[in-house]
Amino acid sequence: MRGFALLVGAALALGAGTMEASPAERIRASYGSVSASTVPIWITKEAGFFEKYGLDVELFFIEGGAKAMAALVAGDVPIAQLGGAHLSGRRMGRFGR
């Protein structure tokens, strides 16, 4: 019985070393200002937390909430840091459908 347990343990240890990491999922995210509100995004990026959880995040600047909202609505960026006025404006139909 002890020999069987050692054999199973060795097989598990060897098998764990052959697993390949899946490639990081690439995500584009925009921010609209260089201010205290975007500090958490940059800390997360610089500290490597996105990579730790399998994300390859490309951060880029889009000046103006209207442009960022247009990019979000068009599907050019799945994530955008926006102010509340632009989000409520979209809800009221001011930024396309």
Residue 85: which residues within 8 A CB-CB, separation 6 or more? 65
Distance from chain centroid for Cα 88: 24
Query: What residue has token string 């260089």?
Result: 34
What's the pTM? 0.58
Domains of the chain: 21-91 (3.40.50)
Strand 79-80 vs strand 55-61: parallel, antiparallel, or unpaired? unpaired
Paired tokens of 87: 């989000």
Strand 79-80 vs strand 25-31: parallel, antiparallel, or unpaired? parallel
Written as tens digits, the pLDDT of the chain (97 aa) is 554 444 444 455 544 554 456 787 899 999 888 888 888 888 999 999 999 999 999 998 998 888 888 888 899 999 888 776 655 555 555 555 4
